[in-house]
């Protein structure tokens, strides 16, 4: 038996990076998946890779900060796959800036996606899980929710909210068979990192030096890989973790404890 046989998972932002790695790993463990994505081309590539693994996945265009879009995505998921058993709140955006350099517009944009979007997905899917008699929710927070990181004011605030919402949902729904945990990744080599380097370090040599610097920030000496986040996500979403709820797990190459 695979760890996720007969499970139906919604993965927000499942088209790339950590979301794609989680979607692929879930499929390899027998789960069906719905990728809720703004970037349909990226979601299509994820679905293609899952099909090559022999798995089943659908892509649904969704703007998680819009309640009607979330509601429509949920209906489409249920119509195509059945009622979801898992919700993985992975979608999010980043921002570079301090409390004084962050504009009000940028702050609202980050909070609208990372915080309101997570809330709207929870609000829509939780009743379905309750009707099912239980389910699993996994939120993607960050070590930024618990550790001061320079120039990440709005992002850190939004991920702090993700951690707090995890604890709240775990408390409120534990007696209804719902487990809710969160992952707090450190720096992971995703398309966002590459985009950040290309934007702020256009010179190839400078970009290479900065990549090395960012890698060495982790005591283990490198960035994480999306697949490493997906491994822990799969465990927490499986029945092997049936006694775990209301917990936050650092996946950070030792950053939280060894720096």
pLDDT tens digits, the chain, 259 residues: what are they?
699 999 999 999 999 999 999 999 999 999 999 999 999 999 999 999 999 989 999 999 999 999 999 999 999 999 999 999 999 999 999 999 999 999 999 999 999 999 999 999 999 999 999 999 999 999 999 999 999 999 999 999 999 999 999 999 999 999 999 999 999 999 999 988 999 899 889 999 999 999 999 999 999 999 999 999 999 999 999 999 999 999 999 999 999 999 8
The Cα–Cα gap between 194 and 175 comes to 43
Confirm if 26 and 4 have CB atoms less than 8 A apart: yes
Q: pTM of the predicted model, to two decimals?
A: 0.96
Q: Which of the following is catalytic: 155, 173, 200, 201?
A: 155
Instruction: Give start-end residues of each CATH 3.40.50.720 domain in the chain.
Output: 8-186+225-250
Confirm if 31 and 5 have CB atoms less than 8 A apart: yes
SS3 state at 181: strand
Q: How far apart are the first and last CA of the chain?
A: 40
* Buried residues in 130-166 as b, exposed as e (16+ CB within 10 A): eebeebbbbbbbbbbbebebeebbbbbbbbbbbbebb
Task: Give the fold, CATH level 3, of 8-186+225-250.
Answer: Rossmann fold (3.40.50)
The Cα–Cα gap between 144 and 158 comes to 9
* pLDDT for the residue 155: 97
At 103, give phi and psi (nearest 5°).
Answer: -80, 160
Total residues belonging to the chain: 259
- 155 is an active site residue: yes
Q: At what angle do helices 67-81 and 117-132 cross, to 10 degrees?
A: 40
> Measured between alpha carbons, how far is residue 3 from residues 11, 85, 98, 199 in Å?
17, 13, 42, 40
Look up tokens 């190839």; give the residue: 204
Confirm if 138 and 14 have CB atoms less than 8 A apart: no
Q: Count of alpha carbons within 13 Å of 258, Cβ hemisphere only?
A: 13
CA 235-237-240 angle, 5° bins? 55
Confirm if 166 and 184 have CB atoms less than 8 A apart: no
At 252, give phi and psi (nearest 5°).
Answer: -145, 15
Give the strands of the sheet with 86-89, arranged side by side.
Answer: 57-61, 32-37, 8-12, 86-89, 135-140, 178-185, 248-251
């Amino acid at each position: 038996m695979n760890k996720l046989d007969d499970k139906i998972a919604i993965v927000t932002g499942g088209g790339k990076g950590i979301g794609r790695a989680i979607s692929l790993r879930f499929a390899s463990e027998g789960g069906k998946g719905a990728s809720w994505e703004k970037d349909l081309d990226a979601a299509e590539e994820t679905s293609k890779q899952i099909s090559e693994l022999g798995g089943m996945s659908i892509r649904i265009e969704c703007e998680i900060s819009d309640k009607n879009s979330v509601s429509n995505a949920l209906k489409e998921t249920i119509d195509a796959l059945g009622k979801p058993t898992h919700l993985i709140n992975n979608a999010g955006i980043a921002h570079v800036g301090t409390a004084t350099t962050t504009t009000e517009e940028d702050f609202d944009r980050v909070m609208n996606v990372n915080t309101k979007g997570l809330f709207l997905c929870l609000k829509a899917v939780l009743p379905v899980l309750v009707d099912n008699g239980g389910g699993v929710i996994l939120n993607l927070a960050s070590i930024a929710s618990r550790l001061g990181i320079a120039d990440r004011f709005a992002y850190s605030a939004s991920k702090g909210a993700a951690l707090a919402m995890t604890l709240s949902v775990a408390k409120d729904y534990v007696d209804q068979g719902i487990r809710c945990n969160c992952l707090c990744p450190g720096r992971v080599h995703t398309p966002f990192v590459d985009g950040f380097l290309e934007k702020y370090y256009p010179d190839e040599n400078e970009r290479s030096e900065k990549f090395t610097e960012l890698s060495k920030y982790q005591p283990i000496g490198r960035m994480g890989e999306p697949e490493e986040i997906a491994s822990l996500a799969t465990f927490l979403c499986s029945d092997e973790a049936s006694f775990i709820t209301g917990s936050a797990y650092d996946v950070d190459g030792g950053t939280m404890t060894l720096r």
